[in-house]
Structure 1
Amino acid sequence: MNIEQKEALQSLKIAKGQIEAAIKMIEDERYCVDVSNQILAIQSLLKKADLLIIRQHMNHCVRQAFEQDKGSEKIDEIIDLLAKVVGK
């Protein structure tokens, strides 16, 4: 496991704990704005994890594909992924 994967895993584990906390907040009928702030923090961690995984993919899988003259497949893959990220 490389550094990006380790950091992504850590972010996901923290997000998992925060999701459980958000569920408890709703069950405890906590103030809506507090719950919303918790959800925003979770989304931020998920975005961070996603970017780390994409970075890892670019640095390793895509680089290797270009070294083997198979880069065009990876470019299409990244374009499709970016389209999902930007909501297209």
Structure 2
Amino acid sequence: MSEERKKALQLLKTARGQIDGIIKMIEEGRYCIDISNQILASQALLKKSNLEILKGHLNHCVKDAAINNNMDEKIVEINNILEKIITK
């Protein structure tokens, strides 16, 4: 497993723990702003995880495609991901 995937996995596990905590906060009727802050923190972890996955894609998949002169598909993939990220 690449370093990027290891980092992404750890971030996702942390986010999962936070989401479990958020569910508990809602069930306990905790203060809305506290819940919202925890949701934002979880979203930040998901974004960081996605960044690690994309770094790995660039460092391995795209690099391999460049070596093998097969960049067209990878360029389309990256463009599609960037469009999703930017238009959210």
Q: How far apart, CA to CA, are the structure 1 residues paired with 2:23 and 2:38?
A: 10
Spell out structure 1 runs of 4+ moving beyond 2 A. Answer: none
What is the TM-score with the length of structure 1 in the denominator?
Answer: 0.97
Q: Percent identity?
A: 55
Matched, 1:44 2:41: no
Q: How far apart, CA to CA, are the structure 2 residues paired with 1:3 and 1:10?
A: 11
Written as runs of structure 1 = structure 2, the 5 A alignment for 1:1-88 is: 1-87=1-87
Q: How far apart, CA to CA, are the structure 1 residues paired with 2:46 and 2:56?
A: 15
- Unpaired runs of 5+ residues, structure 2, are none
Q: How far apart, CA to CA, are the structure 1 residues paired with 2:32 and 2:87?
A: 27
Q: SS of the counterpart of 2:75?
A: helix
RMSD over aligned CA atoms reads 0.8
Residue type of the partner of 1:36?
S
Q: How far apart, CA to CA, are the structure 2 residues paired with 1:4 and 1:37?
A: 27
Task: Measure how far apart 1:73 and its partner are.
Answer: 1.1
Q: How far apart, CA to CA, are the structure 1 residues paired with 2:87 and 2:27?
A: 31
- Unpaired runs of 5+ residues, structure 1, are none
Q: How far apart, CA to CA, are the structure 2 residues paired with 1:79 and 1:60?
A: 17
Residue type of the partner of 1:49?
S
Q: How far apart, CA to CA, are the structure 1 residues paired with 2:4 and 2:32?
A: 34
